[in-house]
Structure 1
Amino acid sequence: MLVKWIRCTVVDRRGFERGQRTWAGLLDEPGFRGQGGGWSRGEPGVAHTFAFWESRVFYDSFMARGHDRLAAAQSGMYKDLRVNLFEYRFDVKTGFVPEFTDADVVRVAHSRVHEDRADHFALMQQRVWNPAMAGSPGMLRGVFAEAPGHEFLVLSMWQSSAERGKYRPGGVARLAARADTERDVEELTGDVVRLEPTWTV
């Protein structure tokens, strides 16, 4: 499964949200599995979208044929567009499905990892981070994915921001120490995204 993460700064909010509805056209695309997104809780005006495709072949076919027609509805309404593609590696918790209707927030963590520590980083995600997140109240499901250049994406869906808020500083610091995260990670960025139901496809 291919995971696409889009981040941009919106300059025309009403127009952008109106244009977001045109992405319902993805439902007719072969290999499309689901899409959702919303607004950053930490950076005003920043929008995130997450899309899932069965494979890179289906995604490339869509990009060559139908993408520009759908994207035209939001032309000029954003700046600083960043698009990242990742290949699914494993679930965070079990039974991941790309559905957004039962979630209120998504936590996204993007790590660039030292080359010689990539295997260790993935192993610690499975042995340390996944069990901790799976055991957190309100955590619904998530996905761990990888891109070339030792980049990793951890996407987790939560019932509410209040529930996600319980998974915080003290516990995270202990987990990071156990996983030896500091030695693995070269750069870590992340955000908490408040999902907009009307953006779900």
Structure 2
Amino acid sequence: MLVKWIRCTVVDRRGFEREQRKWAGLLDEPGFRGQSGGWSRGQPDVAHVFAFWENRVFYDSFMARGPDRPAAAQSGMYKDMKVGLFDYRFDVKTGFEPDFADADVVRVAHSRVYEDRVEHFALMQRRVWNPAMAGSPGMLRGVFAEAPGHEFLVLSMWQSSAERGKYRPEGVARLAARAETDRDIESLAGDVVQLEPSWTV
């Protein structure tokens, strides 16, 4: 599965939201699995969109046929767009599906990992972080994905921001020490995204 992550700063919020709803046409595309997104809780003018495709072949075919009609309509409504394509490696918790119906919040963590620590980083995600997240109240499911250049994306879906708040504590520092996170990660950026149900395709 291919995971596409878009992040941008929106300058015309009303127009952006209106046009975002027009991506519903993706439902007819071969290999399309789902899409949703919302607004950063920490930076209210920052939007995130997450899209899922069966594989890169389907996605590349879609892009080659000129998918830019909705995107063109949103031109001028945002700036500083960043797009990342990541290949699925494994679930966070179990049975990941790109289904946003029961989720209120998505936590996104984007890491750039030292080359010689890549496999250790992935192993610690499986052995340390996944069990901790899976056992947290309100955590529904998630995905761990990789891009060239030793980049990793962890998306986790939560039932509510209140529940996600329970997965912050001293426990996170303890887990990070156990996983030797500071030795693995060159840079880390994250956000908490309040999902907009009208953006879900």
Shorter-chain TM-score range: over 0.9
CA RMSD of aligned residues (A): 0.6
Contact 2:8 2:82 survives alignment (8 Å): yes
Q: Cα deviations across residues 135-179 of structure 1 (Å, max 9, x unaligned)?
A: 001000000000001000000000000000000030100000000
Shift of 1:73: 2.1
Shift of 1:67: 1.2
Shift of 1:75: 1.4
Does 2:22 match 1:25?
A: no
Alignment of 1:169-188 (within 5 A): 169-188=169-188
C-alpha separation between the residues in 1 aligned to 2:166 and 2:125? 19
C-alpha separation between the residues in 2 aligned to 1:156 and 1:30? 25
Tell me the residue number matched to 2:34: 34
Tell me the residue number matched to 1:189: 189
Tell me the residue number matched to 1:65: 65
Shift of 1:21: 1.0
TM-score using structure 1 length: 0.99
C-alpha separation between the residues in 1 aligned to 2:158 and 2:78? 27
Kindly report structure 1 stretches of 4+ aligned residues shifted beyond 6 Å. Answer: none
Shift of 1:44: 2.1
AA partner of residue 77 (structure 1)? M
C-alpha separation between the residues in 2 aligned to 1:70 and 1:79? 16
Shift of 1:106: 0.2
Contact 1:25 1:70 survives alignment (8 Å): no
Q: How many residues are treated as equivalent by the alignment?
A: 201
Alignment of 1:97-116 (within 5 A): 97-116=97-116
Q: Which runs of 5+ in 1 are unaligned?
A: none
Instruction: Classify the secondary structure of the residue corresponding to 1:15.
Output: helix
C-alpha separation between the residues in 2 aligned to 1:51 and 1:172? 28
Tell me the residue number matched to 1:2: 2
Tell me the residue number matched to 2:139: 139
Shift of 1:70: 2.3
C-alpha separation between the residues in 2 aligned to 1:13 and 1:129? 35
